[in-house]
Structure 1
Amino acid sequence: MKIIFFAVLFLFFLQVNLQANDFISAKEYSKMLYENPRGIGCNKCHGANGEMQILGHYEKKGKRTAFVVPSIQNLGFEEFKKSLNETKEASSIMPSYSLTENEILVLYNYIQEKTKEQNNAKQ
């Protein structure tokens, strides 16, 4: 009787473990990474979908000029990866994140998915 009880108990725990989901879904992970990869999120400058944004304005020679953050929606993967990995100049406001190859891929796919959703919503 004990053997049957432990066998049933073992099968129950095995079934529960096989059905268990990850702690965080891939979609949740990619959103979290976009919103806070290493302290400041991509969304703070590139918006919720990676689109072009006016971050602010500055005055130069008496003329008010917009500080435009470019869209990252239409970048190819290699260009996207290069922009994240290149050494930044002191005047650059783009932070250095020290992302792994997988994190860069996750971010890239997240932006591509958000762009598709945005385009579908417009139609």
Structure 2
Amino acid sequence: MVQRAIFKYSSSSAIAHLIQTLRSISSNAFAFAMAPILLDHLPSLTSPLGIALIVSACFALFYLIESFILTVPYPPSVPLVGEPEGALRFSLRTRVAYYTNCEALLREAYTKYVKKGKLVVVPGFGFRKEVIIPQSAMK
């Protein structure tokens, strides 16, 4: 049905010939035939742009692996230190505060939550999150 509609409404025989050619080539062979064309448009891997592309791709891959494979879920009722009530993720401000003033962030977690016997989540190195459990909850 779709094939007839394409041929019926396209007046160019070049499009019809292209569609027939693409059907005759297997999908794997087509992908390998297109690879050199796509690689010609990428920058050299030793150029600054190529290095930036590799670093960006590695960072994106690391983020996806960390987010979807290695992340351990925690209950949404557990508060996040430095964030408003009900927040599901840390803001950039809190993540930067972890690197620049970690002591103040941990002190806030202790005084607001742990001292009162509540669990709290603090940001960790990279994309990690650390759960601080009060001693009273461990018994």
| Structures share fold, TM-score greater than 0.5 | no
Q: Which has the higher helix share?
A: 2
TM-score of the two chains, using structure 2 as the length reference: 0.24
TM-score of the two chains, using structure 1 as the length reference: 0.27
Select the structure with the greater relative contact order (CA < 8 A; seq sep ≥ 6): 1
Return the index of the structure with the highest Cα Rg: 2
